[in-house]
Amino acid sequence: METNEQNKILPTFSGSFSNGWKVLNKYFLALLLVVIALGVLVAPFQAGKININPGCMHWNNGHFDFFNAGLAALGMFALVIGIFAVAYSLLVVPIFEFGANLIFVHAVRDIKPQFETFIKGFKENYLHIVLANLLTIALVMMGFIFLIIPGIIIACRLAFVSYLVMDKKMDPIQAVEESWKLTKGHAWTIFFMAIVSFFICLLGLIMCFVGIFPAMIWVKSSFASLYEAVLVEKNAQSVLTE
């Protein structure tokens, strides 16, 4: 019979990826559905990146230039699509991404993944999710303005924001502050996990493209494992200090 100590996830690089692999094998089909749905729902934002100059319509020697007029019309259409894509990425995509992260946290806790959690943010916590996402983006971008390295540090320290908003129902400022506290001493682990995750996903793409799905499941399960391990570690320290 396995003990709690045997099931304990270590808040380390190897501990997170090891547990992430176990989660992948146990809940593969359910989590596969989540990453496929996430990819499909994020794709419209990527498709909206069209760059055509809408100011190219003009008269040429007293004659209307239909070619440039056509380009202008296409450019205006692209502009509308671009605005929609930005709105979609800021107001809709975070709901799915935060919901997916909560599903992975549940899987790490050995709670059977429920697909309804994927859209839970539309019914609960919607404003907190959108604002937390905007705040995180703003802070990371401000950090990148100052010679890139501060941006990387901030991104690592705010890695748990989405989990805290969904799992602990925190508001954006609370989630940012708590993520900063939780990741203290774990920033390098998060940084190296992010680098390795890039190569895992790259290898998944090389393997006839379909390999990207198990790669994404492994990566997301590993980060959710790190979050859970750090949370357990913090709770244990709190008990000891009381």
User: Tokens 């008269």 label which residue?
Assistant: 59
Q: Is residue 195 part of a domain?
A: yes
Q: In this predicted model, what pLDDT tens digit does every residue of 166-186 receive, in sequence order?
A: 999 999 999 999 999 999 999
Domain region containing 201: 4-233
User: Tokens 């990826």 label which residue?
Assistant: 17
Q: In this predicted model, what pLDDT tens digit does every residue of 18-46 receive, in sequence order?
A: 999 999 999 999 999 999 999 888 765 54
Number of domains into which the chain is organized = 1
Q: In this predicted model, what pLDDT tens digit does every residue of 94-117 receive, in sequence order?
A: 999 999 999 999 999 999 989 899
User: Tokens 């808040």 label which residue?
Assistant: 11
Span 151-172, average pLDDT: 96
3-state secondary structure of 207: coil
Q: Is residue 145 part of a domain?
A: yes
Q: Is residue 94 part of a domain?
A: yes
**113 C-beta neighbours (distance < 10 Å), count:** 21
Contact 133, 94 (CB under 8 A): yes
Q: Is residue 193 part of a domain?
A: yes
Q: For residue 64, what are the β-bridge partners?
A: 59
3-state secondary structure of 63: strand
Question: What is the DSSP pairing of strand 63-64 with strand 59-60?
Answer: antiparallel
pLDDT for position 45: 56
For the entire predicted model, the pTM comes to 0.84
Q: For residue 59, what are the β-bridge partners?
A: 64
